[in-house]
Chain A
Amino acid sequence: MNPIIIIIIVLALLLIFLIALLKLTRVPGAVYKNKVKYSDHAKAPVKPFFSNKYWLTGKPDYILDTKDGLIPLDIKNTAKPKEPYFGHVMQVVSYCLLMEEENAIPPKYGILRYNDGQFYISYTPERKAHLLKTMDKMKQHMRSNTCPEPDPKSRCKLHTTVSL
Protein backbone atom coordinates (compact mmCIF):
# COMPACT_ATOMS: atom_id res chain seq x y z
CA MET A 1 0.00 0.00 0.00
CA ASN A 2 1.13 3.53 -0.76
CA PRO A 3 2.76 5.04 2.39
CA ILE A 4 0.88 8.34 1.84
CA ILE A 5 -2.46 6.54 1.97
CA ILE A 6 -1.38 4.85 5.22
CA ILE A 7 -0.45 8.24 6.71
CA ILE A 8 -3.81 9.70 5.60
CA ILE A 9 -5.72 6.79 7.19
CA VAL A 10 -3.75 7.07 10.45
CA LEU A 11 -4.27 10.85 10.62
CA ALA A 12 -7.98 10.49 9.85
CA LEU A 13 -8.39 7.89 12.61
CA LEU A 14 -6.45 10.11 15.02
CA LEU A 15 -8.70 13.02 14.08
CA ILE A 16 -11.84 10.98 14.76
CA PHE A 17 -10.40 9.88 18.12
CA LEU A 18 -9.55 13.46 19.14
CA ILE A 19 -13.00 14.72 18.09
CA ALA A 20 -14.60 11.97 20.19
CA LEU A 21 -12.42 12.97 23.17
CA LEU A 22 -13.38 16.63 22.66
CA LYS A 23 -17.08 15.70 22.69
CA LEU A 24 -16.55 13.72 25.91
CA THR A 25 -15.26 16.82 27.72
CA ARG A 26 -18.78 18.32 27.29
CA VAL A 27 -17.24 21.79 27.15
CA PRO A 28 -19.34 24.09 24.96
CA GLY A 29 -17.69 24.75 21.60
CA ALA A 30 -18.16 28.48 22.06
CA VAL A 31 -15.80 28.34 25.06
CA TYR A 32 -12.72 26.85 23.38
CA LYS A 33 -13.35 28.52 20.02
CA ASN A 34 -13.32 32.01 21.54
CA LYS A 35 -11.21 33.93 24.01
CA VAL A 36 -12.62 33.64 27.54
CA LYS A 37 -12.71 37.05 29.24
CA TYR A 38 -14.47 35.93 32.43
CA SER A 39 -15.12 32.53 33.92
CA ASP A 40 -17.01 31.42 36.98
CA HIS A 41 -15.20 28.10 36.59
CA ALA A 42 -11.71 29.39 37.23
CA LYS A 43 -9.64 27.96 40.10
CA ALA A 44 -9.66 31.31 41.90
CA PRO A 45 -13.08 32.77 42.76
CA VAL A 46 -14.24 35.64 40.55
CA LYS A 47 -16.00 38.83 41.50
CA PRO A 48 -19.69 38.95 40.64
CA PHE A 49 -21.12 41.75 38.51
CA PHE A 50 -23.16 44.28 40.41
CA SER A 51 -25.50 47.07 39.31
CA ASN A 52 -26.27 49.67 41.92
CA LYS A 53 -28.81 51.25 39.52
CA TYR A 54 -30.91 48.09 39.18
CA TRP A 55 -29.89 46.47 42.47
CA LEU A 56 -28.94 43.37 40.55
CA THR A 57 -26.02 40.99 40.86
CA GLY A 58 -24.87 37.89 39.04
CA LYS A 59 -22.06 35.75 37.71
CA PRO A 60 -22.39 34.39 34.19
CA ASP A 61 -20.62 31.08 33.65
CA TYR A 62 -18.46 32.65 30.94
CA ILE A 63 -17.99 35.91 29.08
CA LEU A 64 -16.56 35.27 25.65
CA ASP A 65 -14.71 37.70 23.41
CA THR A 66 -16.27 36.91 20.02
CA LYS A 67 -16.44 38.62 16.64
CA ASP A 68 -19.79 39.99 17.87
CA GLY A 69 -18.18 41.53 20.95
CA LEU A 70 -18.38 40.38 24.55
CA ILE A 71 -21.07 37.72 24.94
CA PRO A 72 -22.31 36.03 28.16
CA LEU A 73 -22.72 32.25 28.20
CA ASP A 74 -24.80 30.41 30.76
CA ILE A 75 -24.71 26.63 31.20
CA LYS A 76 -27.77 24.64 32.25
CA ASN A 77 -27.34 21.06 33.37
CA THR A 78 -30.53 19.81 31.70
CA ALA A 79 -31.55 18.39 28.34
CA LYS A 80 -32.18 20.93 25.60
CA PRO A 81 -35.88 21.79 25.41
CA LYS A 82 -37.62 22.60 22.09
CA GLU A 83 -37.71 26.24 23.12
CA PRO A 84 -35.52 27.76 25.85
CA TYR A 85 -37.31 28.14 29.18
CA PHE A 86 -38.48 31.70 29.70
CA GLY A 87 -36.82 31.96 33.12
CA HIS A 88 -33.47 30.89 31.63
CA VAL A 89 -33.90 33.44 28.83
CA MET A 90 -34.49 36.22 31.36
CA GLN A 91 -31.47 35.08 33.37
CA VAL A 92 -29.28 35.48 30.29
CA VAL A 93 -30.91 38.86 29.58
CA SER A 94 -30.03 39.90 33.14
CA TYR A 95 -26.36 39.05 32.45
CA CYS A 96 -26.60 41.20 29.32
CA LEU A 97 -27.99 44.03 31.45
CA LEU A 98 -25.16 43.67 33.98
CA MET A 99 -22.60 43.72 31.17
CA GLU A 100 -24.25 46.76 29.64
CA GLU A 101 -23.98 48.52 33.00
CA GLU A 102 -20.35 47.44 33.43
CA ASN A 103 -19.05 48.21 29.93
CA ALA A 104 -21.60 50.78 28.67
CA ILE A 105 -21.91 48.61 25.55
CA PRO A 106 -24.88 46.21 25.43
CA PRO A 107 -24.07 42.69 24.24
CA LYS A 108 -25.89 41.74 21.02
CA TYR A 109 -26.98 38.43 22.49
CA GLY A 110 -26.22 35.81 25.10
CA ILE A 111 -25.75 32.06 24.76
CA LEU A 112 -27.85 29.59 26.71
CA ARG A 113 -26.17 26.20 26.69
CA TYR A 114 -28.03 22.99 27.58
CA ASN A 115 -26.49 19.50 27.77
CA ASP A 116 -27.09 18.75 24.11
CA GLY A 117 -27.38 22.07 22.36
CA GLN A 118 -27.60 25.80 22.73
CA PHE A 119 -29.77 28.83 21.99
CA TYR A 120 -28.74 32.36 21.02
CA ILE A 121 -30.77 34.82 23.09
CA SER A 122 -31.05 38.27 21.50
CA TYR A 123 -30.75 41.19 23.88
CA THR A 124 -33.69 43.28 22.70
CA PRO A 125 -35.29 46.39 24.28
CA GLU A 126 -38.50 44.37 24.74
CA ARG A 127 -36.69 41.67 26.71
CA LYS A 128 -34.85 44.27 28.77
CA ALA A 129 -38.17 46.01 29.56
CA HIS A 130 -39.71 42.67 30.57
CA LEU A 131 -36.76 41.91 32.83
CA LEU A 132 -37.04 45.28 34.58
CA LYS A 133 -40.80 44.75 35.02
CA THR A 134 -40.18 41.30 36.53
CA MET A 135 -37.52 42.69 38.88
CA ASP A 136 -39.93 45.45 39.99
CA LYS A 137 -42.49 42.79 40.92
CA MET A 138 -39.85 40.87 42.88
CA LYS A 139 -38.74 44.01 44.72
CA GLN A 140 -42.35 44.87 45.59
CA HIS A 141 -42.75 41.49 47.26
CA MET A 142 -39.44 41.89 49.08
CA ARG A 143 -40.37 45.37 50.34
CA SER A 144 -43.88 44.47 51.40
CA ASN A 145 -42.79 41.06 52.71
CA THR A 146 -45.65 39.31 50.92
CA CYS A 147 -45.61 35.96 49.18
CA PRO A 148 -46.47 36.11 45.47
CA GLU A 149 -49.55 34.32 44.14
CA PRO A 150 -48.84 30.95 42.49
CA ASP A 151 -48.54 31.11 38.71
CA PRO A 152 -51.00 28.63 37.12
CA LYS A 153 -48.82 28.45 33.99
CA SER A 154 -45.74 27.61 36.02
CA ARG A 155 -43.72 24.42 35.39
CA CYS A 156 -43.65 23.94 39.16
CA LYS A 157 -45.57 20.86 40.25
CA LEU A 158 -46.00 22.10 43.83
CA HIS A 159 -47.41 25.60 43.61
CA THR A 160 -49.65 25.97 40.57
CA THR A 161 -53.00 26.15 42.34
CA VAL A 162 -52.46 25.97 46.08
CA SER A 163 -51.98 29.31 47.82
CA LEU A 164 -49.75 29.43 50.88
Chain B
Amino acid sequence: MGTIDNIVLNLYKQDEERVTTVGMDLESIQKVLILIKDRTVMKPIRSSEISSYLFCPVCWWIGITEGVKITSAMVEGEKHHKHVAENTTKAGALYACIIVITFILIAVSLCGVLL
Protein backbone atom coordinates (compact mmCIF):
# COMPACT_ATOMS: atom_id res chain seq x y z
CA MET B 1 0.00 0.00 0.00
CA GLY B 2 1.40 3.38 -0.95
CA THR B 3 0.99 6.71 0.76
CA ILE B 4 -0.01 10.20 -0.30
CA ASP B 5 2.62 12.79 0.48
CA ASN B 6 1.56 15.79 2.45
CA ILE B 7 -2.05 15.72 1.38
CA VAL B 8 -4.64 16.24 4.03
CA LEU B 9 -8.15 15.18 3.39
CA ASN B 10 -11.19 16.13 5.28
CA LEU B 11 -13.61 13.53 4.02
CA TYR B 12 -16.63 14.85 5.80
CA LYS B 13 -16.34 18.29 4.24
CA GLN B 14 -15.97 17.81 0.54
CA ASP B 15 -17.68 20.97 -0.60
CA GLU B 16 -15.63 23.03 -2.98
CA GLU B 17 -14.72 25.66 -0.41
CA ARG B 18 -13.25 23.07 1.93
CA VAL B 19 -11.43 21.28 -0.85
CA THR B 20 -9.43 24.42 -1.58
CA THR B 21 -8.04 24.23 1.95
CA VAL B 22 -5.77 21.40 0.91
CA GLY B 23 -4.54 23.29 -2.11
CA MET B 24 -5.95 20.83 -4.63
CA ASP B 25 -8.59 21.16 -7.26
CA LEU B 26 -11.77 19.15 -7.01
CA GLU B 27 -10.72 16.75 -9.79
CA SER B 28 -7.47 15.88 -8.03
CA ILE B 29 -9.27 15.29 -4.76
CA GLN B 30 -11.75 12.99 -6.46
CA LYS B 31 -8.89 10.96 -7.94
CA VAL B 32 -7.30 10.64 -4.50
CA LEU B 33 -10.63 9.58 -2.99
CA ILE B 34 -10.95 6.84 -5.60
CA LEU B 35 -7.44 5.58 -4.73
CA ILE B 36 -8.36 5.50 -1.05
CA LYS B 37 -11.61 3.70 -1.77
CA ASP B 38 -9.76 1.14 -3.87
CA ARG B 39 -7.33 0.69 -0.95
CA THR B 40 -4.34 1.45 -3.18
CA VAL B 41 -3.17 4.31 -0.98
CA MET B 42 -3.25 4.91 2.75
CA LYS B 43 -4.69 8.16 3.99
CA PRO B 44 -3.45 9.92 7.13
CA ILE B 45 -5.40 9.26 10.32
CA ARG B 46 -7.65 12.14 11.27
CA SER B 47 -7.87 13.16 14.92
CA SER B 48 -11.63 12.65 14.88
CA GLU B 49 -11.09 9.09 13.60
CA ILE B 50 -9.23 8.29 16.82
CA SER B 51 -12.33 9.24 18.76
CA SER B 52 -14.44 7.16 16.37
CA TYR B 53 -12.10 4.14 16.70
CA LEU B 54 -12.19 4.28 20.50
CA PHE B 55 -15.97 4.65 20.47
CA CYS B 56 -16.34 1.54 18.31
CA PRO B 57 -13.56 0.03 16.17
CA VAL B 58 -16.10 -1.69 13.90
CA CYS B 59 -17.98 1.56 13.20
CA TRP B 60 -14.65 3.22 12.44
CA TRP B 61 -13.78 0.44 10.01
CA ILE B 62 -17.15 0.64 8.27
CA GLY B 63 -16.68 4.40 8.02
CA ILE B 64 -13.28 4.21 6.36
CA THR B 65 -14.08 1.28 4.08
CA GLU B 66 -17.53 2.31 2.94
CA GLY B 67 -16.48 5.86 2.28
CA VAL B 68 -18.03 9.06 3.43
CA LYS B 69 -21.26 8.97 5.34
CA ILE B 70 -22.86 12.17 6.49
CA THR B 71 -25.06 11.14 9.35
CA SER B 72 -27.68 13.35 10.93
CA ALA B 73 -25.41 13.67 13.98
CA MET B 74 -22.62 15.04 11.83
CA VAL B 75 -24.95 17.48 10.10
CA GLU B 76 -26.17 18.66 13.50
CA GLY B 77 -22.57 18.95 14.62
CA GLU B 78 -21.77 21.12 11.62
CA LYS B 79 -24.79 23.32 12.28
CA HIS B 80 -23.68 23.73 15.87
CA HIS B 81 -20.18 24.68 14.77
CA LYS B 82 -21.53 27.29 12.37
CA HIS B 83 -23.72 28.61 15.16
CA VAL B 84 -20.67 28.95 17.40
CA ALA B 85 -18.71 30.66 14.64
CA GLU B 86 -21.42 33.23 13.99
CA ASN B 87 -21.69 34.01 17.67
CA THR B 88 -18.00 34.26 18.52
CA THR B 89 -17.72 37.93 17.52
CA LYS B 90 -20.99 38.77 19.25
CA ALA B 91 -19.80 37.03 22.42
CA GLY B 92 -16.51 38.97 22.35
CA ALA B 93 -18.36 42.28 22.04
CA LEU B 94 -20.79 41.37 24.84
CA TYR B 95 -17.91 40.33 27.09
CA ALA B 96 -16.17 43.68 26.48
CA CYS B 97 -19.43 45.55 27.27
CA ILE B 98 -19.87 43.55 30.49
CA ILE B 99 -16.37 44.45 31.65
CA VAL B 100 -16.89 48.16 30.87
CA ILE B 101 -20.30 48.29 32.59
CA THR B 102 -18.90 46.45 35.61
CA PHE B 103 -16.19 49.11 35.96
CA ILE B 104 -18.75 51.91 35.58
CA LEU B 105 -20.98 50.23 38.17
CA ILE B 106 -18.09 50.01 40.63
CA ALA B 107 -17.14 53.65 39.97
CA VAL B 108 -20.73 54.90 40.41
CA SER B 109 -21.10 52.85 43.60
CA LEU B 110 -17.90 54.34 44.99
CA CYS B 111 -19.10 57.84 44.10
CA GLY B 112 -22.38 57.09 45.91
CA VAL B 113 -20.49 55.99 49.01
CA LEU B 114 -18.17 59.03 48.95
CA LEU B 115 -20.99 61.51 48.40
In the complex with contacts A57-B8, A75-B84, A15-B105 CB distance below 8 A: yes
> Which residues does chain B contribute within 8 Å of A105, judged by CB atoms?
none
Contact with A along B62-83 (1 / 0, CB 8 A): 0011000000000011001111
Report whether B3 and A22 are in contact in the complex, using a CB–CB cutoff of 8 Å: no
- What band does the interface of chain B fall in when counting residues whose beta carbon is under 8 Å from A? 35 or more
In the complex with contacts A22-B95, A39-B85, A155-B3 CB distance below 8 A: no
> Which residues does chain A contribute within 8 Å of B52, judged by CB atoms?
87
Report whether B87 and A26 are in contact in the complex, using a CB–CB cutoff of 8 Å: yes
- Choice from B5, B45, B58, B108 contacting A148 with Cβ under 8 Å: B58
> Which residues does chain B contribute within 8 Å of A150, judged by CB atoms?
56-58
Nearest A residue to B111, CB-CB? A4
Contact with B along A129-163 (1 / 0, CB 8 A): 00100110111011101011111001110110000
Report whether A8 and B10 are in contact in the complex, using a CB–CB cutoff of 8 Å: no
Instruction: List B13-28 residues whose CB lies under 8 Å from chain A.
Output: 17-18, 20-22
On B, residues with C-beta under 8 Å from A are 1, 3, 5-6, 8-10, 17-18, 20-22, 39, 42, 44-61, 64-65, 76-77, 80-85, 87-88, 90-92, 94-95, 97-98, 101-102, 104-105, 108-109, 111-112, 115
> Which residues does chain A contribute within 8 Å of B97, judged by CB atoms?
18
Report whether A148 and B61 are in contact in the complex, using a CB–CB cutoff of 8 Å: yes
Complex: A14 Cα to B104 Cα, angstroms: 12
Report whether B1 and A87 are in contact in the complex, using a CB–CB cutoff of 8 Å: no
In the complex with contacts A32-B88, A142-B64, A143-B1, A164-B58 CB distance below 8 A: yes
Complex: A90 Cα to B39 Cα, angstroms: 26
- Choice from B47, B55, B85, B90 contacting A58 with Cβ under 8 Å: B47
Contact with B along A27-67 (1 / 0, CB 8 A): 10001110010011111011110101001111111000000
Complex: A114 Cα to B22 Cα, angstroms: 29
> Which residues does chain A contribute within 8 Å of B76, judged by CB atoms?
77
**Distance of A150 from chain B, by nearest CB (Å):** 5
**Distance of B104 from chain A, by nearest CB (Å):** 6
> Which residues does chain A contribute within 8 Å of B46, judged by CB atoms?
56-58
Beyond A46-B21, A48-B22, A94-B50, list 4 extra A-B contacts (CB 8 Å): A45-B18, A61-B81, A87-B50, A95-B47
Report whether A149 and B57 are in contact in the complex, using a CB–CB cutoff of 8 Å: yes
Q: Can you list 15 A-B contacts with CB-CB less than 8 angstroms, sorted by A residue number?
A: A5-B112, A25-B94, A45-B18, A48-B8, A48-B10, A55-B3, A57-B45, A58-B47, A61-B81, A75-B81, A77-B80, A135-B45, A147-B58, A154-B55, A155-B56
